[in-house]
Structure 1
Amino acid sequence: MTDPAPPPVFAPWADDGAVPLINLSGLTKRYGDVTAVNQVDLQIYEREFFSLLGPSGCGKTTIMRMLAGFEEPTGGTMTLGGQDLAGVPPNKRPVNMMFQSYALFPHLSVADNIAFGLRREGMPKSDIEGRVAEMLRLVQLTKLAKRKPHQISGGQRQRVALARSLAKAPKLLLLDEPLGALDKKLRTQTQFELMDIQENTGTTFVIVTHDQEEAMTVSSRVAVMDEGRIVQVATPAEIYEYPGSRYVAEFIGDVNLIEAKAGTTTDGDLTLHAADGAVITVQSAVPVPAGTDCALSIRPEKVAISRDRPDLDNALPGKIMDIAYLGNVTTYHVEIAGGQILKAMVANAAQRSEQAFTWYDPVWLGWNAARGVVLTR
């Protein structure tokens, strides 16, 4: 029996001939002297699950509200499916929005909550019943159709709100921190349910979140925002493995940043001179002039820790100052020369009652040149 063929790669952003569903050009929003969104250019493609990720106040929710029609841009343009959205009221846009609070009607049943928007649009009763039944099957709530919102769990209420948002078959569904009210375990489970529903419906999803793990889990691509600007747009893997700046490297996941000056480059290997005198080698696809202030970004799981000097491109001696045992992994906080703390993460593949290392042990940290990324901004 042969293995099934792998699914086709979904990457319309890499296709020069693909036409984006959403096109933002120079999008700007000011509130008096405050610029909430600053000259944003962004393309989002049909069937994407796209995340706007950043801290509170970075402008991500303002972009979503402008797409929904609740805010008018101060400058720039927005198009959806080729249609200019300027002046188009929210109820005339092929867009729906799912709010963090879910905003369910407490006096209506699950089925009636889903049907509410369809009735407002004047859809025939027989069509409404069929559409509601389809949505209930999609979110696996058919048996709970007659219950009221207070009679179901938080995760089930979230799925009702999602079904109601999808019932009108919008071209674009906007999700504003949709999982924020759920506990961690349920949030993780619901992330995968969202992905399955998005794939089954083919609707373009744009989610606003400050939760990097959520964005990395559900998204086809992520836009990382800071102070009203988009600082990097890429797939979750590209964002994590090849951050474009110190800000992105620190915002996404855990990272070690070693400040240094660029030295010479030989056959693609760049020499970095750290402030403590350490000499570090990193592969760099982009030339970096000698003397440039930069930083080495290296993820903790890519750093090996050992008692003896490792046979790797880079090796730094240090002393363990803290240990974080998390069950599946252990993170060691190691002080190197100059006082900087670097982290090394080790998978706990085998059961053991004692740590391999303990506090104040002298150790070596090591990694190969290809494991790090040099950042110049």
Structure 2
Amino acid sequence: MSSATVEFSPWTDPDTTPLISFEGVTKRFGNFTAIDNINLNIYPREFFALLGPSGCGKTTLMRMLGGFEEATEGTITIDGQDMAGIPANKRAVNMMFQSYALFPHLTVADNIAFGLHRSPMPKSEIQGRVDEMLRLVQLQKFAKRKPHQISGGQRQRVALARALAKAPKLLLLDEPLGALDKKLRQETQFELMDIQETTGTTFVIVTHDQEEAMTVASRIAVMDNGLLKQVDTPDRIYETPNSVYVADFIGDVNIVTGTATTVDGDATQLTWAEGVAPIKGMTGAQVTQGEPASFVIRPEKVSINKSEPEASNKVQGQVLDIAYLGNMSTYHVELPNGQIIKSQTANNRRIARRDITWEDTVWLSWTETAGIVLRD
């Protein structure tokens, strides 16, 4: 039996109405501009990530959505309604905090039911809704336990169930997995995705963890100093960043600076060191011939060999360091001009059989479409 996969991309359809719209939104605290003239649409059923370093404005943006901050300028609408002056408790929005904020004296079931008892829901329907939420987060067996009697990952799921119990149109998640260890965090990311898909609720997550954003989000907004640097799907942000900042912020990357000497449609040549051939790469955003530019390429797209390869982009250097990460190894190779380029290879053979080691002279190579030249 075959089934067609329908691609989820409402942002590409001009007839789709966004659930959330920021129009010319600015937020100032005194003389400090936390959010600077942002325009952004987020669509129903999206799992949207606000990603950036501390102080970039992502939490302020979320707090304005939740009704905890008012915009200084501009308009924020949720489901077509202007949110100006509408308090947090009057919005079809719920927020899940990093601390979870569970009531220690209440059971898991009573924590989930807490908000329902203060809602218009008939008392006779509350238990059924709590049972539904317990099933959703797979905590039926823990309903009568107190928060201190369950694990951190389970507490996180209780907080999620409580936040979803009132069926909000929008759920805001502020670094929701920050308190979990790495392995549990990775498992919980997939649970979050399943729950979001099951409920159809729009999720907006704030995180500084690039891997987390790449895993869970349908789209990511990369932020810096109150500005949106790029809003796109995870694969496009990784493969075709629109700036050196985005390329450097998302994952590991090699950056080679130089001058864009030839710009010919999709292909650009970067002159970068005396006496070596120009680098040939894809043309990125706003690259101008004769202007300073940077070539960016992911380490896994750089091949490493002891013998000279047949390739249009190739450089020779010496292995300076090797990082063994179990499933892969990263080679740090120093070129004659002092530039260090990283190459990453999968460890599909035992490490004892590896034929490249420290201080070896090696060749690095990559295809003309493996990297991108971006304006500095």
Q: Is the pair's TM-score, using the shorter chain for normalization, greater than 0.5?
A: yes
Q: Find the counterpart in structure 2 of residue 322 from structure 1.
A: 321
SS of the residue 1:353 aligns to: helix
* Structure 2: tracts of 5 or more residues without a match: none
Q: Find the counterpart in structure 1 of residue 280 from structure 2.
A: 281
Q: Structure 1 residue 223 and structure 2 residue 228: aligned?
A: no
**Cα 1:183–1:287 shift into 2, 3 Å:** closer
Q: What's the C-alpha RMSD, in Å, of the aligned pairs? A: 1.3
Q: Find the counterpart in structure 1 of residue 354 from structure 2.
A: 355
**Cα 1:328–1:66 shift into 2, 3 Å:** same
Superposed displacement of residue 54, structure 1: 0.3
Superposed displacement of residue 277, structure 1: 4.2
1:65 to 43, 63, 66: 63
**Cα 1:318–1:65 shift into 2, 3 Å:** same
Superposed displacement of residue 354, structure 1: 4.5
Point out the more displaced range, 279-288 or 135-144: 279-288
> Percentage identity across aligned positions?
63
Q: Find the counterpart in structure 1 of residue 332 from structure 2.
A: 333
**Cα 1:285–1:68 shift into 2, 3 Å:** closer
Q: Find the counterpart in structure 1 of residue 297 from structure 2.
A: 298
Q: Find the counterpart in structure 2 of residue 206 from structure 1.
A: 204
For each residue in 1:32-55, what CA deviation from the matched residue of structure 2 results, as whole angstroms up to 9, or x when unmatched? 111111111110000000000000
Q: Find the counterpart in structure 1 of residue 95 from structure 2.
A: 97
Aligned residues of 1:259 and 1:275 also touching (Cα < 8 A): no
1:204 is matched by which residue type in structure 2?
Answer: T
Q: Structure 1 residue 35 and structure 2 residue 33: aligned?
A: yes
Q: Find the counterpart in structure 2 of residue 111 from structure 1.
A: 109
Equivalent pairs counted in the alignment come to 375
1:136 is matched by which residue type in structure 2?
Answer: L
For each residue in 1:110-152, what CA deviation from the matched residue of structure 2 results, as whole angstroms up to 9, or x when unmatched? 0000000000114222210010000000000011000000000
Aligned residues of 2:283 and 2:374 also touching (Cα < 8 A): no
SS of the residue 2:84 aligns to: coil
2:203 is matched by which residue type in structure 1?
Answer: F
Q: Find the counterpart in structure 1 of residue 267 from structure 2.
A: 269
State how 1:39-50 maps to structure 2 within 5 Å: 39-50=37-48
In 1, distance between residues paired with 2:284 and 2:120? 58
1:195 is matched by which residue type in structure 2?
Answer: M
In 1, distance between residues paired with 2:194 and 2:265? 45
1:30 is matched by which residue type in structure 2?
Answer: R
Aligned residues of 2:66 and 2:94 also touching (Cα < 8 A): yes
In 1, distance between residues paired with 2:282 and 2:243? 16
TM-score (structure 1 length as normaliser) = 0.97
In 2, distance between residues paired with 1:181 and 1:118? 26
SS of the residue 1:100 aligns to: coil
Aligned residues of 2:286 and 2:375 also touching (Cα < 8 A): no
Aligned residues of 1:276 and 1:337 also touching (Cα < 8 A): no
Q: Find the counterpart in structure 2 of residue 368 from structure 1.
A: 367
* Structure 1: tracts of 5 or more residues without a match: none
Q: Find the counterpart in structure 2 of residue 342 from structure 1.
A: 341
**Cα 1:155–1:164 shift into 2, 3 Å:** same
Superposed displacement of residue 350, structure 1: 2.1
SS of the residue 1:369 aligns to: coil
1:32 is matched by which residue type in structure 2?
Answer: G
For each residue in 1:192-234, what CA deviation from the matched residue of structure 2 results, as whole angstroms up to 9, or x when unmatched? 0000000000000000000000000000000000001110000
In 2, distance between residues paired with 1:232 and 1:313? 31
Point out the more displaced range, 245-254 or 352-361: 352-361
State how 1:88-237 maps to structure 2 within 5 Å: 88-237=86-235
Aligned residues of 2:174 and 2:205 also touching (Cα < 8 A): yes
Aligned residues of 1:331 and 1:345 also touching (Cα < 8 A): yes
For each residue in 1:2-55, what CA deviation from the matched residue of structure 2 results, as whole angstroms up to 9, or x when unmatched? 5x2232000000111111110001111111111111111110000000000000
Point out the more displaced range, 345-354 or 227-236: 345-354
Superposed displacement of residue 266, structure 1: 4.8
**Cα 1:84–1:366 shift into 2, 3 Å:** same
1:64 is matched by which residue type in structure 2?
Answer: M
Aligned residues of 1:175 and 1:208 also touching (Cα < 8 A): yes
